[in-house]
Amino acid sequence: MKNVQDIITTLQYKPQFKKLLHNRCIDKLLSTILPAIRRSVKHGYIHNNKLFITITAGLNKYDKDNIINTIKMVLNSPMILQSERFVECSDIEIEDVIVYIDHKPKLPLNLHTTQTHNLKYFERASGNIGIEIKDEKLKELMQSIQDIIKKEKQEEYDT
């Protein structure tokens, strides 16, 4: 019996699903760059045997060149590319690496938000405390809050 990972691995080597293989190869290639720089990578894709990477504007020229040189080093080294770590990239011909800078900030993804968990917090106070405040306005305000709490507790007990 095959599990999900075996099925996906089998499918990605078929010609009609080569985009899956390209995305896994891009993820493996991006894993070679520094994690601080990798966080600013928005996305990447392969088109006409060129790897295009889009990064945010927070990086400088040195970081951009570092990305290009690191990925080209992996692609030009047959020993690294033929290792088990880069098995997804063995069939893909990448001739050049092009890095674009996007000035829009990278937005976090909220994959799943639900409204089913509406939490309600019930009042646990009973309102049976003494108010010892010398300022009369503040004392009246505290007294009105205490009356509201006592009224809500009384309605809760009546139902």
Residue 128 is part of which domain span? Answer: 118-159
Structure tokens of 18?
């080569």
> Could you give the 3-state DSSP secondary structure of residue 34?
coil
Cα separation values, 81 from 28, 89, 92, 149, Å: 10, 7, 10, 70
**Claim to verify: residue 156 and residue 95 sit in the same structural domain:** no
Residues 52 and 128 in one domain: no
**Mutual angle of helices 18-30 and 61-76, in 10-degree steps:** 120
Residue 46 parent element (H or E): strand 41-47
Tens digit of each residue's pLDDT (9 = 90 or more) over 47-81:
998 989 888 877 777 888 888 888 888 888 877 77
Higher pLDDT, 34 or 121: 34
Kindly give, in sequence order, each residue whose CB lies less than 8 Å from that of residue 43, ignoring residues fewer than 6 positions away: 53, 54
* Tens digits of residue pLDDT in 91-150: 788 889 898 888 887 777 776 666 666 667 676 777 788 888 899 999 999 999 999 888
Q: Which of 13-22, 38-47, 128-137 has the lowest mean pLDDT?
A: 13-22
Which value, to the nearest 10 degrees, does the dihedral of the CA atoms of residues 100, 103, 104, 109 take?
A: 50
Q: Are 92 and 25 in contact (CB under 8 A)?
A: yes
Work out the pLDDT band at 19, boundaries 50, 70, 90. confident
For residue 49, is it left (φ>0), alpha (ψ between -120 and 50) or beta?
A: left
Domain holding 76: CATH number?
3.30.300
Average pLDDT over residues 19-34: 85
Q: What would the pLDDT profile of 149-159 be if each residue is shown by its tens digit?
A: 888 888 777 76
Domain count, the chain: 2
